[in-house]
């Protein structure tokens, strides 16, 4: 079982190398351009993707591998009072879109994470980000789902297993952070 899982991971990473390098490079450039203009990053996901959103935001605001200036990144997944109040008053579908209305300015970037590409609250957040003139990067999987039509760039991990997709999402997030480290240090 252990070897099978490692080989499965390796097969997925090989598919990412074969098909996604240009899109990941484009995502790195969009993030660097956004931060260079003085804009911020907003990130959201559900479940494990919510944890990934927090992880990636922390790497930007703290540091990844080298000392550099603190950079503005907000995980929309961390404020339990906002999450519960918005969900209660507006419905769970609007839990992130309402926060985007509060925090986003034109030129900010929204990183939307959904393994299926179809999470309703992520879809609503992407629509709101577009209305706020934000750039959107999707991290999805399978066939990209509804996110394909809503993201400026949707990086679709070519796999169907949630675990493999999430493993690639955090790897891609770390590549984003490494790119930013090199640019700002």
Residues 32 and 183 sit within 8 Å (Cβ to Cβ)? yes
Q: What is the pLDDT of residues 162-175, one digit of tens each?
A: 999 999 999 999 99
Question: How many domains does the structure of the chain reveal?
Answer: 1
The percent of residues above 90 in pLDDT, for the chain, comes to: 99
Residues 24 and 172 sit within 8 Å (Cβ to Cβ)? yes
Structure tokens at 6: 């490692």
Half-sphere exposure of 137 (CA within 13 A, CB side): 25
Q: Is 26 annotated as a binding residue?
A: no
CA angle in degrees (0–180, nearest 5) for 105-102-30: 35
For residue 27, give its domain range.
2-184
pLDDT given at position 127: 98
Q: Is 143 annotated as a binding residue?
A: no
Q: What is the pLDDT of residues 15-43, one digit of tens each?
A: 999 999 999 999 999 999 999 999 999 99
Q: Is 114 annotated as a binding residue?
A: yes
pTM over 0.95: yes
* Beta sheet of 109-113, edge-to-edge order: 73-75, 41-44, 109-113, 135-141, 153-157
pLDDT given at position 168: 98
Q: Is 81 annotated as a binding residue?
A: no
Q: Is 116 annotated as a binding residue?
A: yes
Q: Is 55 annotated as a binding residue?
A: yes
Q: State the average pLDDT for the chain.
A: 97
Three-class SS state of 86: helix
- Rounded-to-5 percentages of helix, strand, coil across the chain: 60, 15, 30
Residues 139 and 21 sit within 8 Å (Cβ to Cβ)? no
- Burial label for 182, CB within 10 Å (0-12, 13-18, 19+), is middle
Q: Is 174 annotated as a binding residue?
A: yes
Q: How confident is the model at residue 118 (pLDDT cuts 50, 70, 90)?
A: very high
What CATH number is associated with residue 71? 3.40.50.10490
């Amino acid at each position: 079982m252990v070897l099978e899982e490692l080989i499965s991971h390796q097969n997925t990473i090989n598919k990412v190398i074969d098909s996604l390098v240009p899109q990941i490079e484009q995502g790195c450039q969009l993030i660097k351009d956004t931060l260079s203009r003085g804009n911020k990053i907003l990130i959201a996901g559900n479940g494990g993707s919510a944890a990934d959103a927090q992880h990636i935001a922390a790497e930007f605001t703290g540091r990844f591998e080298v000392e550099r200036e603190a950079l503005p990144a907000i995980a929309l997944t961390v404020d339990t009072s906002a999450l519960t109040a918005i969900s209660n008053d507006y419905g769970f579908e609007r839990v992130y879109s309402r926060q985007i209305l509060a925090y986003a300015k034109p030129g900010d970037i929204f990183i939307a994470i959904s393994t299926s590409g179809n999470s309703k609250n992520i879809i609503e957040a992407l629509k709101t980000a577009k209305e706020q003139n934000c750039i959107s990067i999707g991290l999805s999987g399978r066939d990209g789902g509804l996110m394909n039509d809503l993201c400026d760039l949707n990086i679709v991990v070519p796999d169907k297993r949630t675990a493999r997709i999430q493993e690639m999402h955090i790897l891609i997030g770390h590549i984003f952070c490494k790119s930013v480290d090199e640019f700002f240090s």
